């Protein structure tokens, strides 16, 4: 099975995604394409990195993940391919692989430079079709990673503020807001006990186990599906409830008698 996933900010209506698939289908006739998303906000490398972080390792070894959120297309930014924990990724060198490289620090990363493996004419505006698609096809067919180009040791990694443990709790940052308006933080869920107090800006709430521990419409915090603290509204949007400045800090104070922190 030659399974290839796609994550882009292309939308679909212009046919650009289909062009990428078409190039790969010609080179790997039996490829299976899984759309991850084409709705990443335009050029939002950080959002793409977060989304990718949630699925790349859930796919089996041998899967090829294509990621094209590429505001620097046509500049001298490099095109990368890598083997991380047995999964392959092709992506521009702009930080979109940050969470992959954190999770798999011994990933084997190369710069895609071998023109013989790319489309004969490479445009300056559409490397998804002309560079990443043929590179992904090469890997899906079992081609060697090192055929694509030379080893790279300095792939771009986005800086991230870490959550910090403090005497009576911890603090962290909102790192993603999802479709439901959940505010996803970088605070590990196992740092935080049930009933701990959570403050974001001037808004206070408490940690619960699950949404239904509060009434519909109530604010809450819990450990979300990525293993970190999330601030949510049951059947509603925390984004609409909380005033969010850029990189808003989240403070947690352990509950009385809480042994977790």
Residues within window 144-183 making contact with a second copy, judged by CB under 8 A:
176, 178-180
In this chain, which stretch among 122-130, 146-154, 158-166, 244-252 interacts with a second copy, using CB under 8 A?
A: 122-130
Between residues 62 and 164, which has the closer beta carbon with respect to a second copy? 62
User: Where are the strands (E) in 9-86, listed by range?
Assistant: 32-37, 64-68, 79-84
Q: How far is CA 73 from CA 131, 138, 174, 199, 251, in A?
A: 11, 21, 29, 40, 39
Using CB under 8 A, pick the residue from 4, 45, 47, 137 that binds a second copy. Answer: 47
Q: How many CA atoms lie within 13 A of 224 on its CB side?
A: 24
Smallest distance from a second copy to CB 168, Å: 26
| Residue 80 lies near a second copy (rule: CB under 8 A) | no
| Residue 1 lies near a second copy (rule: CB under 8 A) | yes
Using CB under 8 A, pick the residue from 88, 126, 132, 191 that binds a second copy. Answer: 126
| Residue 222 lies near a second copy (rule: CB under 8 A) | yes
Using CB under 8 A, pick the residue from 76, 106, 215, 240 that binds a second copy. Answer: 76
Which residue from 194, 201, 202, 198 is spatially nearest to 169, judged by alpha carbons?
198
d(CA 135, CA 173): 36
Smallest distance from a second copy to CB 169, Å: 22
| Residue 74 lies near a second copy (rule: CB under 8 A) | yes
What is the size of the binding site for a second copy (CB under 8 A)? 72
d(CA 45, CA 10): 13
Smallest distance from a second copy to CB 166, Å: 26
d(CA 119, CA 132): 10
d(CA 82, CA 64): 10
| Residue 86 lies near a second copy (rule: CB under 8 A) | no
Packing angle, helices 133-140 and 16-27, rounded to 10: 40
Between residues 13 and 116, which has the closer beta carbon with respect to a second copy? 13
d(CA 35, CA 19): 14
In this chain, which stretch among 106-114, 117-125, 143-151, 250-258 interacts with a second copy, using CB under 8 A?
A: 117-125
In this chain, which stretch among 103-111, 157-165, 193-201, 205-213 interacts with a second copy, using CB under 8 A?
A: 205-213
């Amino acid at each position: 099975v030659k399974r290839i996933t796609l994550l882009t900010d292309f939308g679909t209506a212009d046919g650009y995604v289909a062009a990428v698939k078409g190039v790969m289908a010609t080179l790997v006739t039996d490829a299976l394409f899984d759309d991850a998303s084409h709705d990443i906000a335009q050029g939002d490398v950080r959002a793409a990195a977060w989304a990718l972080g949630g699925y790349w390792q859930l796919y089996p070894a041998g899967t090829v993940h294509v990621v094209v959120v590429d505001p620097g297309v046509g500049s001298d930014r490099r095109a990368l391919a890598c083997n991380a924990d047995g999964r392959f990724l092709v992506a521009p060198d702009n930080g979109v692989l940050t969470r992959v490289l954190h999770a798999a620090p011994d990933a084997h990363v190369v710069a895609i430079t071998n023109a013989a493996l790319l489309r004969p004419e490479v445009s300056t505006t559409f490397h998804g079709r002309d560079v990443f698609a043929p590179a992904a096809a090469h890997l899906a067919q079992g081609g060697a990673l090192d055929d694509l180009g030379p080893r790279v040791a300095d792939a771009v990694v986005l800086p991230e503020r870490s959550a910090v443990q403090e005497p009576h709790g911890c603090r962290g940052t909102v790192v993603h807001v999802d479709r439901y308006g959940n505010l996803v933080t970088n605070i590990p869920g196992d740092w935080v006990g049930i009933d701990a107090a959570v403050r974001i800006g001037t808004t206070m709430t408490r940690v619960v186990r699950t949404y239904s521990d509060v009434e519909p419409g109530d604010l809450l915090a819990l450990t979300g599906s990525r293993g970190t603290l999330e601030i949510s509204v049951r059947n509603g949007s925390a984004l609409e409830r909380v005033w969010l400045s850029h990189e808003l800090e989240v403070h947690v104070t352990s509950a009385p008698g809480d042994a977790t922190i």
